[in-house]
Structure 1
Amino acid sequence: MAGINKVILVGNLGKDPEVRHLEGGNSVANFTLATNEYYKDKQGTRVERTEWHNIAAWRGLAEMAEKYLKKGQQVYVEGKIRTRQYQDKENQTRYITEIIADEITMLGGRSQAGDGPVQTNGTATAVEAAPQTFRQEPELDQLPF
């Protein structure tokens, strides 16, 4: 049996998405998402804990994020967790854990940027009902047949 790698988050954007356009025409949007957890400590005091998640959205989802997502906006993100390594400026190996988004839903009504999306290009699809949902379409080489 294959493993399952699925993450579901609902939180608020910590910053506007930063979009990079790569060679070959692909785009990637990176942003942080804050999720809050509340509990009571031993003294009965309500405590809030915020967890920050690094989100990466590719291709059509990156274009949607660039166009419609803003700092502070509440979103639902569904995807998979991935850890990668890279070399920093001092040539030290660093690791980053991020969520690779497969679906992003804008919560709390339509964006202040306009009337909201009608439809994006062929690499991501929009569900026309509020809240707005965008899904990453699989690349042809990712299909199981």
Structure 2
Amino acid sequence: MAINTISVSGNLGKDCEQRWTPNGKAIASFSLPVKQGYGEHEKTSWVICKMFGSKAEKLPEYLTKGTKVTIVGEFVMEEWTGKSGEKKSAPVIIVNQLDFGGSGNQAGSQRAQQPTPQPQQSQRPQQTAPQNIEPPLDFDDDIPF
């Protein structure tokens, strides 16, 4: 049996984008950095995170550039055919749980003082990952973004 769960913590690279399917279902997407390697071989890649349904309707106003979040979700490779007919793919995380943390910028620090949005609590019953994998709220790293 394979388990497909990924946890990523970081600051949003840009504001969350929200769009709607023809059937009226909300889709929200944002990007998070993922570091690989170390020293002079360290590389940062940006992974796209997507939410669907009620989470995607309510959370985008809180997900602005620089906001620190920790997400738990399912890793998938999204595939499509480009305008020129070539096949393309990109790694995507389908978000199951999203938790807000501190932020690395001034605006994010102000947002952290606001109450946590209610939709976050409605996600917890759907959670399948263990509760103890999240970093402590006072976790302070030296990542510059």
Cα shift at 1:18 = 0.7
Q: Are 2:100 and 2:116, in contact at CA under 8 Å, matched by a contact in 1?
A: no
Q: Are 1:10 and 1:75, in contact at CA under 8 Å, matched by a contact in 2?
A: yes
Instruction: Give unpaired runs (5+ residues) of structure 2.
Output: 104-108, 128-145
Q: Are 2:35 and 2:43, in contact at CA under 8 Å, matched by a contact in 1?
A: yes
| Structure (1/2) with the larger helix percentage | 2
Instruction: Give unpaired runs (5+ residues) of structure 1.
Output: 42-46, 128-133, 139-145
Q: Are 2:59 and 2:117, in contact at CA under 8 Å, matched by a contact in 1?
A: no
1:35-114 alignment runs, 5 A limit: 35-36=34-35, 39-40=38-39, 49-108=43-102, 112=111
Q: Give the CA RMSD over aligned residues.
A: 2.8
- SS at 2:91 equivalent: strand
- SS at 1:126 equivalent: helix
1:22-33 alignment runs, 5 A limit: 22-33=21-32
Q: Are 1:12 and 1:35, in contact at CA under 8 Å, matched by a contact in 2?
A: no
Q: Please name the residue that 1:7 is paired with.
A: 6
| Structure (1/2) with the larger strand percentage | 1
Q: Normalised by the size of structure 1, how large is the TM-score?
A: 0.69
Return the index of the structure with the highest Cα Rg: 1
